Amino acid sequence: MAILHFSSSSPILRIIHSPPRKIWALQDSIKTQKNLITTDSVSSFSFCPCGRRHFIGAMTSIPFLPISPSSASTSTEDLERLRPQTPKPDWYEEFFAWSMNTEMESYEKEISDYKMKLFDNLVGKAEKVLEIGIGTGPNFKYYTAIPNLSVIGIDPNARMESYARKSAEEAGLKPEDFTFIHALGESIPLEDASVDAVVGTLVLCSVADVTRTLNEIKRVLRPGGTFIFIEHVAAEDGTFLRLVQNVLDPLQQVVADGCHLTRHTGESILEARFNGGADVKKASLSRFAYISSHVYGVAYN
């Protein structure tokens, strides 16, 4: 297990060194595009901070939100297909929410310049924003420059809500301007063309169906709306790093709540064919190389 090279404070390492009964419980529950145009680098990443449990089902009634999508598929059969065969126990969901809230500081410092540039695309252009996989709300501090803002956050881990609400409050967002919905990115319970922007950071690595999630993003975005994203992705084919990712990917999915190391998310975003096109750029992390490859950018509906 030491080949993972996690930091001593990593929650993943703590899982690995947990008593065997916890490990058993966890186990039981559980074409590169040429127009990827810009390569940048950041330094230091302590562990893969993404992953979402594809569980339970989407919420179906909130009185003040448009939640009867005209073309979204939210049938029980679809949700059963997307959720795991064995739902994760409550202690895992609470642990993962806690770890996301306490272990992300170094990553957020390193990625902050990229996020500031991306969120600048929303200033003056978005008042109603949907964030998929909102987690504990690390992006709220970037919303403060956007006037008249309301945020809808969805996440399949209900334990994230209390942390997200605290982050929203600390960022100065009024409670009535933030709505948390317990839901899946593959089946967003909002009407067509109902939001000005969609935000996704470190979430497409762990949804059950990337294409379906991107189609849902396109559906709920109004014409001219914006999708901003940052995701870690697979290394180049044929490299030693890619070989390492291939080996570690199954374990990563177990200890990092469904996160995949070998997805070509940048290509998927380009292939989704957003009406206004997509600007997908590369970034490279210099530490913990097995997750060094990132893409970030903006797509226009």
Model confidence, pTM: 0.73
pLDDT along the chain (301 residues), means of 10: 36 38 40 41 44 35 38 46 59 75 77 91 95 95 93 94 95 95 95 98 91 97 97 81 75 70 90 96 74 89 94
Q: Is the distance from CB of 103 to CB of 10 less than 8 angstroms?
A: yes
What is the identity of the amino acid at 281? Answer: K
So what's the pLDDT on residue 9? 38
- How far is it, in rounded angstroms, from Cα 138 to Cα 5? 25
So what's the pLDDT on residue 102? 77
So what's the pLDDT on residue 29? 41
So what's the pLDDT on residue 105? 81
So what's the pLDDT on residue 244? 78
So what's the pLDDT on residue 148? 93
So what's the pLDDT on residue 81? 57
So what's the pLDDT on residue 16? 34
So what's the pLDDT on residue 89? 72
Number of domains in the chain: 1
Q: In what order do the strands lie in the sheet with 128-132?
A: 36-42, 278-285, 293-300, 221-232, 195-201, 128-132, 150-155, 178-182
The CATH number of the domain holding residue 76 is: 3.40.50.150
| Structural domain of 34 | 2-300
Q: Are strands 128-132 and 150-155 parallel, antiparallel or unpaired?
A: parallel
